[in-house]
Structure 1
Amino acid sequence: MTNLDPIPARLAALKTTPTPELKQQWRELFESEPPAFNRRYLESRLAYRIQELAYGGLKPETVKRLEALGEQLDGGNITTRRIRADLKPIAGTRLPREWQGVEYIVTVTADGFEWQGRPYKSLSAIARAITGTRWNGWVFFGLKNHRGRT
């Protein structure tokens, strides 16, 4: 009789596990409350954690190397480092928005956004320039719904 590795089956089961059970697994594996991110995020982090506990995590030298690379990318700015990379679309992405019959296109840049040849730090500033009123730029350009979820 061979001893089969139960980890692949446990990982596959995550796809069909109800969300409340995923959150309970999070509490057990991370000893903290689950974040308010979407189901896919919970599944991927739980899958990583299950494997990490079963097979071991990253080597300390790998963690150091990743941290050094992160500092090269963000210039050591701790605020930039804490912003989730997946919140902002990748540079070069075009964000179209029709407002009162006129189409506006904003381009995502490495350090912000560009509209009509001008750089902007935030989508909210562009939305305000277009509408003349205060808007959440992420909502205005359809990157978040009105309740703040992506």
Structure 2
Amino acid sequence: MTRATKSKPGTPPAPTIPAIPPADVLGRLAALKTTATLDLKQQWRELFAAEPPPYNRRFLESRLAYRIQELAYGGLKPETIQRLEALGEQLDGGNPVLRRIRGDDKPITGTRLIREYQGVEHSVTVLHDGFEYQGRPYQSLSSIARAITGTRWNGWLFFGLKNRRGSA
């Protein structure tokens, strides 16, 4: 069984995306963790009918897991989509370009930044108004990097976020 994507009149038909039987979902989700990255990218092509983005493996796994469930159980209800669109219009006046622009360059709240330093894995959680490391709040990544290393560091560089910030 397959699910065809919608295409506009006069355009070539879109690729067919396979439907996923609900009975297969758990097995497919479990297999994502052990699937080779090249195979994950192939699954992306099959399930999204597009080339995979150049993001890391964790992103591919999580997005594929959502897509598998979406194809098996259905996506968001139309009323949910309408409600989300209405909320977006309240925030940005209906300009979808503005929805993609962040007000700052800090990672999204809830993101976990993980860095191994001298054989020890350090995990930092991004908060709305700062960061949390080992249960304590911090205002900057640089202060966390200093707590970890004992020396002054650019926190964005230490946690591998330099390219996101430009010339941090």
* TM superposition score category, shorter chain reference: 0.5 to 0.7
**Deviates most, 69-78 or 35-44:** 69-78
SS in 1 for 2:140: strand
Corresponding residue for 1:24? 42
Q: 1:147 to 1:8 in 2, by over 3 A?
A: same
Runs of 4+ in 1 over 3 A off after TM superposition: 71-80, 138-143, 145-148
Any residues of structure 2 matched to 1:54-69 within 5 Å, and which? Answer: 54-69=72-87
Which of the residues 131, 135, 144 maps onto 2:161?
144
Would you say the 8 A contact 1:96–1:103 is kept in 2?
A: no
The corresponding residue for 1:33 is: 51
Corresponding residue number in structure 1 for 2:124: none
CA RMSD of aligned residues (A): 3.5
TM-score by length of 2: 0.52
Q: TM-score when scaled to structure 1?
A: 0.57
- For residue 21 of structure 1, give the secondary structure of its aligned residue in structure 2: helix
1:74/1:80 contact within 8 Å kept? yes
Counterparts of 1:1-150 in structure 2, within 5 Å, are 5-74=23-92, 76-83=94-101, 88-89=106-107, 90=109, 91-93=128-130, 94-97=139-142, 139-140=156-157, 142=159, 144-145=161-162
| 8 Å CA contact retained: 1:95, 1:141 | no
Q: How many residues align?
A: 109
C-alpha distance in 2, partners of 1:88/1:29? Answer: 31
Deviation at 1:25, TM superposition (A): 0.3
Structure with the largest fraction of helix: 1
Gaps of 5+ in 2: 1-21, 110-127, 131-138, 144-150
Aligned-residue sequence identity (percent) comes to 61
Q: Partners in 2 of 1:26 and 1:84 — Cα distance?
A: 27
Unaligned ranges ≥5, structure 1: 105-126, 128-137
Change (3 A) 1:146 1:84: closer
Report the Cα distance in structure 1 between the residues aligned to 2:60 and 2:106, rounded to whole angstroms: 20
Query: Following the alignment from structure 1 to structure 2, what is the Cα–Cα distance between the partners of residues 56 and 83?
Result: 29
Question: What's the offset of the Cα at 1:19?
Answer: 0.7
Change over 3 Å in CA distance of 1:59–1:146 after alignment to 2: closer
